[in-house]
Structures are given as C-alpha cells and as structure tokens.
Amino acid sequence: MSGVMSYGALATKIRGMKSHLLKEKDFENLAQMENVSQAIAYLEQIPSYRIVLEKQDAAKLHRSELERLVVGTLYYDFTKLYRFCDKKQKKLLELYFGKFEISVIKRALRRIFNHGDRTGESRELRGFFQKLSNIHMEELSQAGTISELLEALRDTRYKKVLLRLDYGREITLFDYEMTLDLYYFSELWKQKDKILRGAELEMLTRTFGSQIDLLNLTWISRAKRYYQLPTTSVFALVIPVTYHLRDEEIQAMATASDEKELEEILARTYYGRRFEEVAAGELEKLNRQLLNRIYGEERRKNPYSLAVVTSYLHDKEEEIDKLTTVLEGVRYGLEPRETLAYIRG
C-alpha cells in the first residue's frame, strides 16, 4: 500500500510517457527514409522529439548537433520525472544524473582531442543542466584545452577525479573517459546503500551489480583480445566492484596468458555457465539482453517502486541508441534490412 501511495502518481506519469516511446514500426519506417531530412520530419510528428526538433532547419542540422538534440529528449524526460519525485526518490535520480554529467564531459573531451566544433549543448539543454549540476556549461561548451575544461569543472567532484591522472605522462582520451566511468560506477555502488533499504536496495543491487560485472567482463575481454594490454593496464580498467563475479576470477582473466586461457576462465564464471553469448564472445549483446530482462522483470514485480523509474530511463536510453543507429544507416544509404539488423542483434 505504501508503494502505491509513494509511486502511484509517478507510475501514472510514466505510463503516459512510455506511450510516446518509439515502437518497432517507427524504427522500420525510419529505416526506409531516403535521407536524414525525411527522418527528422517523421520524428517531428512524435511529441517527445517535436520539442527539440520543431525549431530546427533539418537541411542544415549537422550530424553531431542532431545527436545532441536526440539525447536531449532523455534529459527532458528526466526533468519531468524529477518534478514528480519526493525527497528520497530525488536523491536516487540525482545520483543517476551523474551519468548525464559524465556524458556531457565526455563530449567536451572528444571536441578537444578531435578538434571538433565547440557548439556544445543547446542553450535549452544547458539551462536544464544548470538546475541540477555545478558544471559551468557555457565554459565547458567553449573549452578548447584540458585546462579550460578543468576550469569549467571547478565546482564539481569531477575536477578532483580527473586530476588524479598521472600528468607526468601522455594522457589519452581513453584515459579520461575510463577514469570518469570507473568513478561513476564505483560511486553509484557505494551511495545506493546510503539512500535505499529493503526491496528497493535489493532491486538496484541486482540491476547495477549485473551491469558492472558485464562491463568488467567486456573491458577485460577487449583489452586482452584486441589490444594486448599489459596486466597492470588491464587492472586499471576494472571497476572495483563484484556481484556474481569473484575477485579471483577477475584476477585470473586479467593475467590470462592467451585468448584460449581467457575463454576457459570466462566459461567457468557465473555468466559463462548460464549464457551462450559468453562463449561466442558476444558480451555486449549479453549486456544489453540481460539488462533488458532484469529491468523488465523488476518493473513487473514491483510496479509501484523505483523500478518503474529506472526501467523507464533504461528504455529511453535504449531507444536513443537504436535511433542513433537507424539515423546513421539512413545517412549512409544502408538497406533498411541491414540497418534494422544492427538494432535487433
């Protein structure tokens, strides 16, 4: 009963928002568009995308700007949910919000390293961020050097996190991005125990624990298979959190002498014993499928809990990933069947 009282209005709000998510038929229609301008015109008919696209000139919309606008629909949805939350619910969303902050910082880092445009987020999205973030968004959007980026982060925890890097050696974009990711997931795992109790804590422990395990498996596997990184560098990629994985399994994978030994160790893990995708080397596919299943199960079991919020945000992120892939397929003239295969794989 307390769940209904705490989450009833929020659950009703989310049901309405969920009805505006793209359907499978929408992706099929978009994949058949002749050009990106046609795809934008289609999206403008959908309420959640109209809000960011209706004032744009589709013919002049650069690829990176379109991507930022599409991602902006997630931020708008987050804002709607945040307004409906009580104090405890807002604490979790503020923790979740760190993911958005890190995405914005990563885009700024990529502009610096790749010498890309410095348009940054739109004025509307910068305004949204300033309500919840201490990042100086205007300065971040104009940052052309790491020093300028760090200055834009001066009032945030992220400046201290990035300053931990060894500036006595050459630091790559990968180093910056991995440092931010490791911090986010470590902090998420630590703070959840301070915010939640009982069934909600158990639910998020399962969700985030599985996600962290699979990210560690994916990053270790990539490092060993494709980059042949030394053991110390592999350990530097590992999120210091375990759920179904054991510390000794992570250590064994990081020190595996070759790909065959790595595969044997993977096969003996909790995930290797239960999912054929591990043996096939399809860890990213497993990550996506397992999280979809977990979020779906939690939403059905606990319709009046934080599960309804976290599962909606997950579904929206999945939608954006798929939409970005479809728009790229349209941009490069791929056959609709080929484009759709990428998002269904």
> What is the pLDDT confidence band of residue 178, given thresholds at 50, 70 and 90?
very high
Which position has the higher pLDDT, 2 or 294? 294
Sequence-distant (6+) residues with CB within 8 A of 121 are 68, 72, 104, 129, 137, 141
Q: Are residues 334 and 269 in the same domain?
A: no
User: What is the per-residue pLDDT for 217?
Assistant: 93
Q: Say if 266 falls within a structural domain.
A: yes
Distance CA 42, CA 20 (A): 14
Q: Are residues 189 and 90 in the same domain?
A: yes
Distance CA 261, CA 313 (A): 38
Q: Are residues 107 and 130 in the same domain?
A: yes
Q: Say if 22 falls within a structural domain.
A: yes
Q: Are residues 103 and 135 in the same domain?
A: yes
Q: Are residues 47 and 76 in the same domain?
A: no
Q: Are residues 190 and 91 in the same domain?
A: yes
Domain total for the chain? Answer: 3
User: Is the CB of residue 153 less than 8 Å from the CB of residue 159?
Assistant: yes
How is residue 136 written in tokens? 């100086």
Task: Give the 3-state secondary structure of 1-36.
Answer: CHHHHHHHHHHHHHHHHHCCCCCHHHHHHHHCCCCH
What is the per-residue pLDDT across 99-145, written as a single tens digit (0 to 9) for each? 999 999 999 999 999 876 555 566 666 677 778 899 999 899 889 99
Report the half-sphere exposure of 199 (CA within 13 A, side-chain side).
11
What is the per-residue pLDDT across 226-279, written as a single tens digit (0 to 9) for each? 888 888 889 999 999 999 999 999 999 999 988 899 999 999 999 999 988 887
Across the range 184-210, mean pLDDT stands at 92
Distance CA 188, CA 182 (A): 10
> What is the pLDDT confidence band of residue 224, given thresholds at 50, 70 and 90?
confident
Question: What range defines the domain where residue 92 resides?
Answer: 62-195
User: Is the CB of residue 97 less than 8 Å from the CB of residue 90?
Assistant: no
Q: Are residues 187 and 85 in the same domain?
A: yes
Q: Is the pLDDT confidence value at 1 over 50?
A: no
User: What is the per-residue pLDDT for 57?
Assistant: 84
Rg (CA), the chain: 21
Q: Are residues 82 and 149 in the same domain?
A: yes
Q: Are residues 167 and 290 in the same domain?
A: no
> What is the pLDDT confidence band of residue 162, given thresholds at 50, 70 and 90?
very high
Which position has the higher pLDDT, 119 or 280? 280
Q: Are residues 127 and 144 in the same domain?
A: yes
